[in-house]
Structure 1
Amino acid sequence: MIFSLTILGAPNHSAAPSTGLRFAKALLADGHQIYRIFFYGEGVYTASRIMAPPQDEYHLSKSWQDLITEYQLDTVVCIAAALRRGIIDEQEQQRYQLDTNNMMSHAELSGLGQWVDACLQSDRMITFGE
């Protein structure tokens, strides 16, 4: 079965990203396919590569990055939600002439059209968060 996931909650304020991560790992372990992961709303904070939780806390963003890299998962971060919250990739850094960027690698900034495509291409779209 082909799944896509939408992550709506922020990593430090919602269980959505951690529950979504566990669900994604379970899907892959059971032999299912993940068509796309879409970070939207507060969920875009999960795509920040500069989060630095205390050493005794789980590094959720890094865990997502590791899973995305290991399985080469198509990952989209909503561009409107990301820019509004200061999550910037290299292209937007140059466009807005900013000093740096902070978005995880192996993900792309794009619009809701990618979410609609994921809905059409997947057997199930599972949303985590509100």
Structure 2
Amino acid sequence: MNYTLVIHGAPASSQSCQTALSFARAALNRGHKIARAFFFRDAVHIGSGLTVAPQGEADLHKAWKELAEEHEIDLVICISAALKRGLVDEREARRYDKVSHNIDAPFNFSGLGQLIDGAATSDHVITFGD
């Protein structure tokens, strides 16, 4: 099976990112493929390389990066949701004349077209969060 995951909840105040990560690991361990994880609404905060996980808590940003790099998962941050929450990658920081950026690879910005593409090319789309 080939899955696209859609995550809505903020990593700091929702279990959405953690639950989606656990699902992805379990699916991959069973031989399935996660083609894309699409972070939408407050879940876009997962892409910030400036967050620091409190001692004793999971570093979800790092965990998603490692999983994506190991299994070639496309990690898409919804650009419109990110920009209005103050999250910018290097390109958007230059475009909007910002002094810095906080989104790092392998997270990448894109629009809802990537979500539609994921839905069209995957066997299943699973949503995590409200």
- The bucket for the TM-score relative to the shorter chain is over 0.9
Aligned equivalent of 1:56: 56
Question: Aligned Cα RMSD in Å?
Answer: 0.9
Q: TM-score, normalised by structure 1?
A: 0.96
Q: Give the share of equivalent positions with the same residue, in percent.
A: 43
| Aligned counterparts of 1:57 and 1:110: Cα–Cα separation in 2 | 29
- Which structure 2 residue ranges, 5 or more long, are not aligned? none
Aligned equivalent of 2:24: 24
Aligned equivalent of 1:47: 47
Shift of 1:107: 2.1
Aligned equivalent of 1:9: 9
The count of residues paired between Structure 1 and Structure 2 equals 130
| Aligned counterparts of 1:25 and 1:114: Cα–Cα separation in 2 | 22
Shift of 1:55: 2.1
Aligned equivalent of 2:80: 80
Aligned equivalent of 2:94: 94
Equivalent position SS for 1:104: coil
User: What does residue range 107-118 of structure 1 map to in structure 2 within 5 Å?
Assistant: 107-118=107-118
Equivalent position SS for 2:54: coil
Q: TM-score, normalised by structure 2?
A: 0.96
- Which structure 1 residue ranges, 5 or more long, are not aligned? none
Shift of 1:58: 1.4
Amino acid corresponding to residue 38 of structure 1 in structure 2: F
| Aligned counterparts of 1:113 and 1:96: Cα–Cα separation in 2 | 22
Amino acid corresponding to residue 120 of structure 2 in structure 1: L
Aligned equivalent of 1:129: 129
